[in-house]
């Protein structure tokens, strides 16, 4: 074999990648047309290379290059606009994530702080409860005294027995 199989495989990789030079393509065509003992693994490659070589050079119509350039520029512009939109979405997503994290941290910090009115000492809690019950008792005692005073004041306007019977006597002595 004029070219080693390893060299042919390297040339095929360049060819399929679009990186083969004109000389590389010529060497491949020459190899596939002159060699009769081609390995089975290269048969399909031989068909592709020889088919494309028979086509010859493709003639590009006039104006096609300008149209392709305009299309490439338009697609590039659309991609840049699209990327700008993606950046905006990414930025707002990051901002929202940061806001959520800050909210969670603030919530945890506030809920874990101690209440200044919270009593954790049992002895102090008993003392404070006793004071509160005494205050309620005194208030109720004062309320009883206020009720008695209100009854006395009311008795000046309404006879006392009507207060206890829930009846009011008039001058005509009729019960209402």
pLDDT at residue 101, as a whole number: 93
Phi-psi region of 58 (alpha: psi -120 to 50; beta: other; left: phi over 0): beta
| pLDDT value of residue 125 | 85
| Residue-range domain boundaries for the chain | 5-55, 73-110, 130-176
Alpha carbon separation from 42 to 1, 3, 14, 48 (Å, rounded): 14, 13, 15, 10
The whole-number pLDDT of residue 98 equals 92
pLDDT < 50: residue spans in the chain: none
pLDDT, position 99? 92
pLDDT of 121: 82
DSSP states of 62-111 as a string?
TTHHHHHHHHHHHHHHHHHHHHHHHHHHHHHHHHHHHHHHHHHHHHHHHH
Q: Give me the residues paired with residue 175 across strands.
A: 169
Structure tokens at 163: 């207060």
Confirm whether pTM is higher than 0.75.
no
């Amino acid at each position: 074999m004029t070219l080693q199989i390893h060299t042919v495989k390297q040339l095929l990789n360049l060819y399929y990648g679009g990186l083969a030079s004109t000389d590389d393509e010529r060497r491949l065509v020459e190899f596939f047309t002159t060699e009769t003992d081609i390995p089975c693994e290269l048969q399909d490659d031989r068909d592709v290379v020889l088919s494309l070589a028979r086509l010859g050079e493709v003639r590009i119509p006039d104006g096609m290059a300008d149209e392709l350039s305009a299309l490439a520029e338009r697609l590039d512009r659309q991609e840049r606009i699209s990327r700008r939109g993606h950046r905006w979405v990414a930025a707002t997503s990051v901002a929202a994530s940061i806001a959520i994290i800050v909210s969670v941290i603030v919530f945890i910090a506030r809920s874990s702080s101690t209440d200044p009115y919270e009593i954790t000492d049992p002895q102090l809690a008993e003392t404070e409860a006793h004071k509160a019950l005494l205050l309620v008792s005194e208030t109720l005692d004062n309320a009883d005294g206020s009720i008695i005073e209100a009854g006395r004041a009311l008795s000046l306007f309404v006879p006392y027995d009507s207060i206890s019977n829930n009846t009011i006597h008039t001058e005509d002595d009729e019960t209402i």
